[in-house]
A and B are shown apart, each in its own frame.
Chain A
């Protein structure tokens, strides 16, 4: 059996591990356009900011590929898939045959057409190790940077540059930063922290022109007419599924690669996982590309099992992010900012001065989302409650407690999670005894 995996990030790793659980003999070829072994992609801002060295970028020990007997083709771009002949074509013209193919190419940064952008040298995106390395290499020459986009990638790039003592301005079209993953108060807290650390955040505006002579940048002009002095521009508006190479392959691509619940595409024996796939959403059951690290792993795992002849279904992806900005912890999960709030029950606690915020979102007495800023201890209990669709009716009043835990839920839930099997006793005697003291 010839397994070919296009892409070499966490979805690929999930797939490799599950294929090898079921099939120790088959050939696995991994093809990546990047030149690195698998690395912690979200760590690129840590690398840029000097918080970690290059060695710590490695997601797995270097001998992982040898141990799993992987034929690893780095620095190789797949330019086409011929699903009839069951071959992928590399940029150099080589053809690689497959029996089972996984497309896990992730996302490409989206660069909008901005006047003056095309001929400028110091316009960067920020999604790969090489992006971070390039910026870091140029850092001595950078004085002022403008980051276009106040999402997770933009803010992490801004933080990294700020840690290198660069003057940074973030320009965000929406009325707040982090508008997709977080709600207004959480965005406000993060923006406040960014500003306290010397990063300028401009909302409801956008760059219309990059100014400068030849390849050099002197600044950017905003829609409002303002001019911001800078020598470097980072474009962090978003990523799009990297599926361009599938033209003519027969593999159906909508907003991402269309997949079923085993992660198989519209073409038999071709699978997709990770940011490039349009996988099922946990709540709606609708298909959406969801660029979430743990879901990419799980999708890769599900695809790998199917490719190796096993059976497992993807249960739907739950959006979740845990990101720190200048040591303020933020976690968001599920529905955080519903567009039709009247259908939801929302509880909040906030102490903006101290960078503390907690928001709980319920629908039909089920927990469907949470935002935690500052105190994020044991946040995963909420993700578990969301996934298990537990009826929260008796526990609602406890959800905002700063030390919320299993003790605020029912004994039945605690027993199910922690008691030894067959030892789950519930006679209530102990409580009576204690009350009698």
Chain B
């Protein structure tokens, strides 16, 4: 399946992947509305990590594992892997126990504390390629066929 990979040396630490992710998962899909006017700002599903004020940076995201540890740890069945291989969370079913946060070795599941729901990459089902990848100004993020690791 196609997965998102991250090229550390190309990352400029701009966080545009996070902005694009928030925008894509907002109600309006408009960045200004998403950030300033919507009642709830989505939590970015990719995480830009930085060190030394951004000298080293990298965007990390879900690997959509073949045998997802998050799925196995999920106590409610909210996390499933669909026929295309996309690991997704049913937000209605999630109880916010954070077992998936405990299990994911990629640190790729976020906590929405307000809603008590786990949050993770869904590979942007409404798009040809994920919003974070399209937004990356230096092609540090690539979307292509490849394995989990």
Contact = CB atoms under 8 A, between A and B. Distances in A.
Are these two chains actual partners, yes or no? yes
Interface of A: 14, 38, 40-43, 46, 51-52, 56, 58-60, 293-294, 297-298, 301, 320-324, 329, 331, 333, 376-381, 383-385, 387-388, 405-408, 411, 414-421, 423, 425-427, 429-431, 434-435
Nearest to A46: B95
A417 B107 CA distance: 11
Given A294-B103, A322-B99, A407-B51, A419 B76 contact: no
A380 B103 contact: yes
A419 B5 contact: yes
Contacts of B99: 293-294, 322
A125 to B, nearest CB: 19
Contact of A431 (B56, B93, B104): B56
> Dominant SS at the A interface?
helix
Given A294-B99, A406-B49, A418 B75 contact: no
Given A377-B111, A383-B103, A322 B77 contact: no
Contacts of B107: 377-378, 380-381, 405-406
Interface string B41-59: 0000001011100011110
Given A294-B99, A320-B73, A331-B101, 19 more contacts: A56-B95, A59-B76, A293-B73, A294-B103, A324-B98, A376-B98, A376-B101, A380-B106, A383-B105, A384-B105, A387-B105, A407-B49, A417-B106, A418-B58, A419-B6, A420-B5, A420-B146, A423-B5, A434-B55
Task: Say which size band chain B's interface belongs to.
Answer: 35 or more
Interface string B100-144: 111111110111000000000000000000000000000000101
A407 B76 contact: no
Q: Which 9 pairs of residues, A with B, have the shortest CB-CB distance?
A: A384-B105, A378-B107, A420-B5, A59-B77, A380-B104, A407-B49, A322-B102, A294-B73, A297-B72
Contacts of A40: 75-77, 95
8 contacts: A51-B95, A380-B109, A383-B105, A388-B105, A405-B60, A418-B58, A427-B9, A430-B9
